[in-house]
Amino acid sequence: MEKVRFGLVGCGGMGTRHLHGLRELAQTPFGNVELVAVCDLRPQHAELAAAEAERLLGRRPAVYTDLEAMRHGEPDLAAVDVVTDPSTHHTVVCQALELGLHVVVEKPMAITVRACRQMLEMARRKGLLLSVAENFRRDPSARLVHHLVGQGAIGAPYMGLFHSVSPGNTIFITPWRHHKERGGALLDMGVHFTHMIRYQLGQIAEVHASARIVEPVRVKPKQAVWSYEFYRAQYQEMVEEVQATAEDTSLAMFRMASGATVSWMVGLGGHGSCHRELILGDRGSIEGFGTRGGRVSLQRVGQEEVSQEALLAQTPDFALDPLTAHLFPTGVTAGDSAVDLKLIAFELHELAAAISDKGRVEVDAEWGLKDVAALYAIFESSVAGRPVSMAEVESGEVCAYQAEIDAALGIA
């Protein structure tokens, strides 16, 4: 199989995990990506990634600190995997598209709705693929929930609950996740959740919300979150304290286009903890939206709860795509320590296949923009003190909260 030549742009924590994702892919019969180059503004990050790639993939990619130089140095390059921090996505992605490269960009698609729109329009103008690496949806549990809801297993969904609140005042992975104009923790994490709400329950019509900073000072955690060498090095140089400018706690009510309502409580701070995902329908309920590495179950009216394993056995018309089935032979990712890496493998394979077959990607720029808009609708509603419609936020008509970020980053 002719492999599609990729470059990795952004060799930080998640960039390192993408290298491990490439190894997962290379170990399957579906390997269709060849990593030829890595690029990071910080040469030591790019060098570390090149060494890691050589160890994992058996070939050392070329090292660059500038995307344009990478393009000229690698004339056969077809695509870039952009894993830089969110405030840079629009600049890096638009430059890559301008240079004629297809792109897969990590979530959130961009730092604001306006930045997303610049990317979407550039991809359209250039006729190139722009895929958003939203990994949660690729989890087999998400596929199963989507199938069950679509087949009417719980009747018509009328309500949902998405609660994910973890206490504490430590720095969440990186200091930039506490700065509003760099991409706060709620954007970083919450955009997965707005995506999952939309994937399982359809379009959001209106959002009424409140968001706040509960922990104004974030402190260095006692240890690094991941064991990779990059994260250990990043931990060593982490500042002791960060003054947070990004909200860490949010409460919202989403009114879906279908008429269903979703209760949202998402936060990373304070003193309480609360985790529950539930979809309620007029003939039953599903526990879990199907997030990465999660477990789901179904309860029909008057019947016992059915586990994910039993559901898979009882749902013969549900099938995973061949790569996902190969990566997760049991159809259950809960307890699989490599789930994150395998889902990355899927995303990179998908873009390479779409390039080869002149096909489409599942999570395109339209999806990415709407996920970011749904998340910002929370902040916009909080600032406006009223419910906001998604149409207002997606069009940019309501943007008081994001205007400050756009101004700081020069997003016109």
CB-nearer residue toward ligand NAD: 14 or 33? 14
Q: How many CB atoms lie within 10 A of CB 377?
A: 29
- State which residue has the least CB distance to ligand NAD: 12
- Distances 173 to 34, 215, 242, 327, 341 between C-alpha atoms, Å: 29, 15, 12, 27, 18
| Residues 82 and 93: beta-carbon distance below 8 Å | yes
Integer Cα distance of 174 and 125 in angstroms: 34
- Based on the shown chain and the rule CB under 6 A, indicate whether residue 173 belongs to the binding site for ligand NAD: yes
Tokens found for residue 245: 């400018």
Provide the minimum distance between the beta carbon of 365 and ligand NAD in the complex, in angstroms, as a whole number. 15
Interface residue with ligand NAD, options 4, 8, 14, 79 (CB under 6 A): 14
Interface residue with ligand NAD, options 13, 31, 61, 157 (CB under 6 A): 13
CB-nearer residue toward ligand NAD: 188 or 394? 188
- Based on the shown chain and the rule CB under 6 A, indicate whether residue 209 belongs to the binding site for ligand NAD: no
Q: How many CB atoms lie within 10 A of CB 152?
A: 12
Task: Give every strand in the sheet of 261-268, ordered side by side.
Answer: 305-306, 297-300, 284-287, 274-281, 157-166, 261-268, 249-256, 204-212, 388-389
Provide the minimum distance between the beta carbon of 330 and ligand NAD in the complex, in angstroms, as a whole number. 22
Q: Is the link from the previous residue into 108 a cis peptide, with omega within 30 of 0?
A: yes
Q: Binding string to ligand NAD for residues 42 to 71, with x set by CB under 6 A, is what?
A: x--x--------------------------
Integer Cα distance of 389 and 204 in angstroms: 9
CB-nearer residue toward ligand NAD: 83 or 251? 83
- Based on the shown chain and the rule CB under 6 A, indicate whether residue 86 belongs to the binding site for ligand NAD: yes
- Based on the shown chain and the rule CB under 6 A, indicate whether residue 96 belongs to the binding site for ligand NAD: no
Provide the minimum distance between the beta carbon of 302 and ligand NAD in the complex, in angstroms, as a whole number. 38
Interface residue with ligand NAD, options 4, 5, 6, 12 (CB under 6 A): 12
Interactions with ligand NAD, residue window 98-157 (CB under 6 A): 106-107, 133, 135
- Based on the shown chain and the rule CB under 6 A, indicate whether residue 175 belongs to the binding site for ligand NAD: no
Count of positions on this chain that bind ligand NAD (CB under 6 A)? 25
Cβ-count burial of 119 within 10 angstroms (0-12 exposed, 13-18 middle, 19+ buried)?
buried
- Based on the shown chain and the rule CB under 6 A, indicate whether residue 10 belongs to the binding site for ligand NAD: yes
CB-nearer residue toward ligand NAD: 131 or 174? 174
CB-nearer residue toward ligand NAD: 10 or 61? 10
- Based on the shown chain and the rule CB under 6 A, indicate whether residue 40 belongs to the binding site for ligand NAD: yes
Interface residue with ligand NAD, options 4, 9, 103, 115 (CB under 6 A): 9
Residue 154 — φ and ψ, nearest 5°?
A: -115, 20
- Strand-pair partners of 286: 279, 298
If you count DSSP H runs as helices and E runs as strands, how many of each does the chain have, helices first? 14, 17
- Cβ contacts of 278 within 8 Å, gap of 6 or more: 160, 161, 285, 286, 287, 288
Which range of residues in 39-47, 69-77, 155-163, 252-260 is near ligand NAD by CB under 6 A? Answer: 39-47
Would you tell me which residues interact with ligand NAD (CB under 6 A)?
9-15, 39-42, 45, 83-86, 88, 92, 106-107, 133, 135, 173-174, 188
